[in-house]
Chain A
Amino acid sequence: MDGLALHNFSSPGLQPFSLELQPGQCITLSGPSGCGKTRLLRAIADLDPNAGTIALADLPRNRIAPTDWRRQVGYLPAESHWWGEKVSDHFADQDSAELEILLSALGFSSEVMNWEIARLSSGERQRLALARLLIGNPKVLLLDEPTANLDQENIGRVEALLTQYRTEHHTALLWVSHDRAQRQRVAQAALRFHKDTLESEPWS
């Protein structure tokens, strides 16, 4: 299979489980705070030690260099972090047409590159973190509440961009969302945490 396959996969504090995520498919994850959603995404991105097998397009993760793995399996944490002073310090190629399209879809002009990180609002940071991730063309996206700090207009922008991105690039999405209506808007299937296991969430 071409997508992301987890088999007997376990991260700290979570029962092992198996999951298949097809290219172009979006699955949402929900559950009470502290149930392990973030830990699961971190484990898939290989940021924390984890057990079980995981493969992308049938290639096991342990045969892919960690840097390549994280480039292909893009993780968007709930809170974004920045190491430079300006927005431009975080983008390798600031003049590409691709970036300009991304930025305008997120409601920014290309002038945003000169802005200082310290003066960004939390919503601006969240949208720019998404641009920073998408410009690397990941094949899988692990999204930890990507619209949590956004107003209604920008929630619409981000949802539209991610849906368009998914269909155009056949990207597989694992999307953590607290908003039931949002889950129904963006996903084809939904999973929720029940105690420390994952089960499917009925739509109706």
Chain B
Amino acid sequence: MELIQLTPWDLSIASLMVLGLALLSWHLQLGIEKRLLWATARTIVQLTLLGLVLKTLFSQDHPLLIGLLTLFMLGVAGYEVMARQERRFTGSWGMGIGTLSMFISSFSITLIAVHIVISVDPWYTPQYLIPLLGMLLGNTMSGMAIALDNLTQNAYLQRGAIEARLILGHNWDQAIRDIRRNALRSGLIPIINAMAAAGVVSLPGMMTGQILAGSPPMEAAKYQIMIMLLIAVGTGLGAIFAVWIGSYRLFDERQRLRLDRLRNPT
């Protein structure tokens, strides 16, 4: 089966439909038409750019360029994690916690995937490395953002209970334990739900794409299984790192709860 190429005309039909939705939103006074159009424009521009970048990259195969692109992706993901925090950490910790945790989890897991699981040669072949890393970063990012947000919000709301334990001589680890556990659970539940519903309720995007591109469904399924398992591990590891570093940062060397290290929501 050959891949049917999409023409600009095909895409403009989809764009016209979004425009119709925006008109409907305006008519119903939903007030989201501006954001909808802005997001649509971003999708078109960003994905077109990505396509161009990848096209150049695939023809070059230069490890340094590929490395730069992965770091750029990591930076953007780290920024997104920070931007989604209601009460983010002040200073370089705000972006640092998310970026470092994703570096540890997503990068190492992508490396294992291309090196050991798929055994691509060379391991940095961008056709495999970039999409895998992108999927891992994207999903780990959401899980970590939820977990960190949950941690800092609850540390703020339950500061009295945390300090009540500190007052009685409990250490910082005991004082934040329940909050930390809940934060981790909240970060991991989306990927667990997604795995449970995969293929029954939803047809995962990557598998859909492979099937549309003409892959045999069984091959597409195997890839999808692999990526979902990797995402689960990546999200789990990333969230554990992020929540651990975050809860550590909430206390100082005298084990005082330091909510002044969080920025107030604006």
Residues of A within 8 A of B (CB): 45-49, 66-68, 70-71, 74-75, 77, 79-83, 132-133, 136
Q: Is the CB of B256 within 8 A of A67?
A: no
Residue from B158, B168, B178, B256 within 8 A of A71 (CB atoms): B168
Q: CA–CA, A46 to B164, complex, Å?
A: 13
Nearest B residue to A71 by beta-carbon distance?
B169
Q: Is the CB of B166 within 8 A of A47?
A: yes
Q: Is the CB of A45 within 8 A of B167?
A: yes
Q: CA–CA, A67 to B168, complex, Å?
A: 8
Residue from B161, B252, B256 within 8 A of A82 (CB atoms): B161
Q: CA–CA, A200 to B166, complex, Å?
A: 31
Residue from A67, A68, A80 within 8 A of B164 (CB atoms): A80
Q: Is the CB of A74 within 8 A of B167?
A: yes
Q: Is the CB of B161 within 8 A of A83?
A: yes
Interface string of B233-266 (1 = CB under 8 A from A): 0000000000000000000101111000000000
Min Cβ gap B123→A in Å is 47
Residues on A with C-beta less than 8 A from B178 are 83
Min Cβ gap A157→B in Å is 22
Residues on B with C-beta less than 8 A from A67 are 169-171, 255
Q: CA–CA, A81 to B167, complex, Å?
A: 11
Interface residues of B, CB < 8 Å — how many? 19
Min Cβ gap A154→B in Å is 21
Q: Is the CB of A70 within 8 A of B161?
A: no
Q: In this assembly, does B33 line the interface, its C-beta being within 8 Å of a C-beta of chain A?
A: no
Q: Is the CB of B167 within 8 A of A66?
A: no
Q: Is the CB of B163 within 8 A of A133?
A: no
Min Cβ gap A64→B in Å is 10
Question: If A67-B170, A67-B171 touch, does A83 touch B165 (CB 8 Å cutoff)?
Answer: yes
Residues on A with C-beta less than 8 A from B160 are 77, 79, 81
Q: CA–CA, A181 to B80, complex, Å?
A: 59
Q: Is the CB of B168 within 8 A of A70?
A: yes
Q: Is the CB of B167 within 8 A of A77?
A: yes
Q: CA–CA, A148 to B161, complex, Å?
A: 20
Residues on B with C-beta less than 8 A from A82 are 161, 164
Question: If A47-B256, A47-B257, A83-B178 touch, does A70 touch B166 (CB 8 Å cutoff)?
Answer: yes
Nearest A residue to B251 by beta-carbon distance?
A66
Q: Is the CB of A83 within 8 A of B167?
A: no
Q: CA–CA, A71 to B170, complex, Å?
A: 9
Residue from A66, A71, A79 within 8 A of B254 (CB atoms): A66
Q: CA–CA, A2 to B121, complex, Å?
A: 72
Question: If A70-B166, A74-B167, A133-B168 touch, does A81 touch B161 (CB 8 Å cutoff)?
Answer: yes
